[in-house]
């Protein structure tokens, strides 16, 4: 966030209010964006008005180990923006470790879990042995036998495919902790929300209030902290929700998701008046497609 500027302004009659001000773009970015003016201090008859640039945020989802795509976007935006990563950073692509290395270096980043990260953490840290065995089989045995996606993850971390799933678990846990990546997975949020948008990996059920779904996600996160992973979470795992255009009735913010390609790939933003209401970002990088990045300040999608 850029530093604030304080302007003194004297009023005979002080009225507390909120203002908006258009700030001219600087030469480097040539972008227009809003800044907030708020009454900060009243002292000796002067009103000090604080001007702060609005945070410019980009959202990406479903990087899936394709480190070259993430690198292109990170190199383009640099430290001038905040990053919200909407889940599924790992598996499928060749370099999950490289993706996590870049995310660890970003100055301003929020990591939101996808279904792949959720399943990984369940397999690594579920406290109940029976449930952990089920997650292990789902993550490494069944998935690897089907398409090898988890074997790509293991290879990127230099972990050989042990015959026993528990041996894979132990080696993975040790490697992630050694590299400092385990806390990144452990601390991932299940959603992101600010004054303008909500980011969740797959989607929200339009028939259920956001308040109720947010409470459910918070409860699931609390259980995770106690090493309890009871089931997949539909807001992270449902293809139906990822393709749902409607939002819950109590949501008036932009809802940004990934997880599955929309049925109409020629339309990924649905607008309410001039503002983006619904954004779908998954582009199936494994099929050779470009990665899609949502820019909060422009309300548009950019391809990399």
pLDDT of residue 5: 36
DSSP class of residue 101 equals H
Residue 144: predicted pLDDT: 64
**Which pairing describes strands 33-43 and 18-23: parallel, antiparallel, or unpaired?**
antiparallel
> What integer pLDDT is reported at residue 40 of this predicted model?
31
| pLDDT in single tens digits along all 304 residues of the chain | 443 333 333 333 333 333 333 333 333 333 333 333 223 323 334 433 333 455 799 999 999 999 999 999 999 999 999 999 999 999 999 999 999 999 999 999 999 999 999 999 999 999 999 999 999 887 776 666 656 678 889 999 999 877 788 888 999 999 999 999 999 999 999 999 999 999 999 999 999 999 999 999 999 999 999 999 998 999 999 999 999 999 999 999 999 999 999 887 888 999 987 789 999 999 999 899 999 999 999 999 999 9
| Tokens (6 digits) for 126 | 């579920």
Q: How much is the pLDDT for 131?
A: 94
pLDDT of amino acid 165: 83
Domain range list for the chain: 5-53, 57-303
Exposed / middle / buried, residue 140 (Cβ in 10 Å: 0-12, 13-18, 19+) = buried
Q: What is the topology classification, in CATH, of domain 57-303?
A: Purple Acid Phosphatase; chain A, domain 2 (3.60.21)
């Amino acid at each position: 966030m850029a530093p604030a500027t304080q302007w003194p302004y004297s009023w005979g009659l002080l009225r507390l209010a909120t203002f908006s001000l258009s700030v001219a773009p600087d030469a480097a970015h040539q972008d227009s964006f809003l800044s907030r003016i708020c009454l900060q201090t009243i002292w000796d008859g002067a009103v000090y008005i604080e001007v702060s640039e609005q945070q410019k945020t980009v959202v990406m989802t479903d990087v899936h180990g394709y480190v070259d795509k993430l690198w292109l976007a990170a190199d383009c935006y640099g430290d001038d923006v905040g990053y919200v990563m909407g889940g599924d950073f790992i598996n499928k692509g060749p370099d999950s470790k490289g993706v996590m290395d870049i995310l660890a270096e970003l100055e301003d980043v929020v990591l939101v879990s996808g279904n792949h990260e959720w399943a990984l953490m369940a397999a690594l840290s579920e406290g109940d042995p029976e449930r952990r065995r089920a997650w292990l089989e789902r993550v490494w045995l069944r998935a690897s036998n089907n398409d090898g996606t988890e074997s790509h993850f293991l290879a990127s971390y230099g972990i050989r495919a042990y015959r026993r799933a528990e041996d894979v678990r132990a080696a993975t846990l040790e490697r992630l902790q050694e590299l400092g990546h385990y806390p990144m997975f452990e601390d991932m949020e299940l959603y992101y929300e600010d004054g303008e948008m909500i980011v969740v990996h797959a989607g929200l059920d339009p028939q259920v209030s956001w308040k109720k779904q947010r409470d459910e996600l918070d409860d699931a996160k609390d259980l995770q902290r106690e090493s309890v992973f009871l089931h997949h979470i539909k807001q992270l795992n449902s293809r139906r929700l990822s393709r749902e255009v409607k939002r819950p009735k109590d949501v008036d913010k932009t809802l940004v998701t990934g997880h599955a390609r929309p049925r109409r790939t020629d339309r990924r933003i649905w607008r309410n008046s001039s503002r983006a209401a619904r954004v779908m970002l998954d582009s199936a990088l494994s099929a050779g497609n470009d990665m899609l990045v949502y820019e909060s300040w422009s309300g548009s999608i950019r391809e990399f």
